[in-house]
Amino acid sequence: MKKLLPLMCFILGLSGCMSNVDSGNSEKQSEAYTTNFFAMDTYMELTAYGPNGEEAIRTAQEEVLRLDALWSISSQDGDVVQLNATAQETVSEETRQLILRSIAIHDLTGGAFECTVLPIMDLWGFTTQEYRVPSAEEIQAVLPLVDSANIEVSGNEVTLLSGTTIDLGGIAKGYTSNRIIEIFKEYGVESGMVSLGGNVQTLGHKPDGSNWRIAVQDPKLPEEFAGVVEVSDKAVITSGGYQRFFEEDGITYHHIIDPETGYPANSGIISCTIVSEDGTLADGFSTSLFVMGLERASEFWRIHQDEFDVILITDDGTLYITQGIQKSFLTQGNYLEYKLIEA
Ligand code: AMP
Ligand code: MG
């Protein structure tokens, strides 16, 4: 996880917000305020420009810590831990919204997104870091619990049927970066950026009026970059098997689960980056399209192309981008060209 720190600095370097001094503008419109902290299992960096930037990042940091306590699977008083323990709870409004969004994305993606994968994550040791390869029987025994149909939401009361439990890790960071951008706006901030472990969301343009330039990691060499995408007012969120994995007998097992099989998704996609105005959607879809594989993901994008674009890298080292970001994407490093997914 510590390896992410230099990466984040590189992203911010590209984005031109390394400085936190007044650039000379008398209105202080381009003064940068930055905070770094660890939450949601990752390093976070929030930067807001302008007169209210300092208060904005302070409030945003408090909100991140509050949401982390609600949703972390190790936060004993949080909504998720409580709900998983009792199977019926009155949850906070944010938890209700995030569960409803998870179910909606589950339905949209034909079940590729499945926030009930927790027992599978447990079996593989991803929740405890005591990694192991479970037997096929163990997986079959818990697969019936992996089913969003077992979640009932009535007002703020959530019920989990038949022993099902939830894990919002596939979508929580995207919801959180959306929320931070909302807070920035409430404070009148017009330019800012957040990086939650390399998952980025931007507000407006850089203070000099140019677009933010966000680097996409090379999943085969995560210290290097496969491309850069230029955006404003967008989230750029990546799911990659290289982000959390273990090896046993020369085989790599990663943390993004195919809910149909209970095994790490083996779709051919090794990195999936979603570019969208909506951070929650970007996070939910990044996990989903990773599970879907190239063909299904391309078809899904064609149907929902007004809502997002995508950068995919497959295990043969091919980089694909969708048509909507053709003019704003540049390859980097070992990736000299891309293939275009056309509408
Ligand atoms: P992300 O990095 O956004 O792709 O999220 C990966 C995390 O989401 C994992 O660590 C699990 O907590 C959870 N997860 C794994 N597989 C799925 C899935 N198919 N649908 C939803 N969440 C998942
Ligand atoms: Mg995700």
- With beta carbons less than 8 A apart as the criterion, state whether 147 and 116 touch: yes
The alpha helices in 128-197, defined as continuous H runs, are 136-142, 172-186
Distance between CA 145 and CA 88 in Å, rounded?
A: 16
* 278: pLDDT strictly greater than 70: yes
**DSSP-derived 3-state class of residue 51:** coil
pLDDT given at position 15:
34
In this structure, which residue's CA is closest to atom 15 in ligand 1? 256
pLDDT given at position 3:
36
Distance between CA 330 and CA 52 in Å, rounded?
A: 34
Ligand nearest to the CA of 281: 2
- With beta carbons less than 8 A apart as the criterion, state whether 277 and 235 touch: yes
Tokens 């980025």 -> residue: 200
Distance between CA 179 and CA 276 in Å, rounded?
A: 15
Lowest model confidence (mean pLDDT) among 55-59, 221-225, 308-312: 221-225
Residue 261 token pair: 């099989």
- pLDDT range class, residue 10, cuts 50, 70, 90: very low
Distance between CA 301 and CA 156 in Å, rounded?
A: 32
| Position in ligand 1 atom list of the atom nearest CA 287 | 4
Which residues does residue 36 pair with via DSSP β-bridges, in sequence order?
Answer: 45
Burial of 331 (0-12, 13-18, 19+ CB in 10 A): middle
In this structure, which residue's CA is closest to atom 23 in ligand 1? 170
Read off the pLDDT of residues 64-115 as tens digits, 9 standing for 90 and up: 999 999 999 989 999 999 999 999 999 999 999 999 999 999 999 999 999 9
Cα 256 to middle of ligand 2, angstroms: 9
Read off the pLDDT of residues 94-105 as tens digits, 9 standing for 90 and up: 999 999 999 999
pLDDT given at position 30:
80
Cα 170 to middle of ligand 1, angstroms: 4
Q: What is the pTM of this model?
A: 0.93
Cα 287 to middle of ligand 1, angstroms: 6
- With beta carbons less than 8 A apart as the criterion, state whether 71 and 78 touch: yes
Compute CA distances 257 → 89, 241, 289, whole Å. 26, 10, 12
More confident residue, 254 or 29: 254
Ligand nearest to the CA of 290: 1
Ligand nearest to the CA of 282: 2
Cα 58 to middle of ligand 1, angstroms: 28
pLDDT given at position 28:
59
Compute CA distances 217 → 22, 125, 239, 268, whole Å. 31, 25, 10, 17
pLDDT given at position 16:
31
* 11: pLDDT strictly greater than 80: no
Question: In this structure, which amino acid lies at residue 52?
Answer: N
What number is the average pLDDT over the span 11-38?
59
Cα 116 to middle of ligand 1, angstroms: 10
Distance between CA 301 and CA 312 in Å, rounded?
A: 12
Read off the pLDDT of residues 161-192 as tens digits, 9 standing for 90 and up: 999 999 999 999 999 999 999 999 999 999 99
**DSSP-derived 3-state class of residue 230:** strand
Distance between CA 201 and CA 216 in Å, rounded?
A: 13
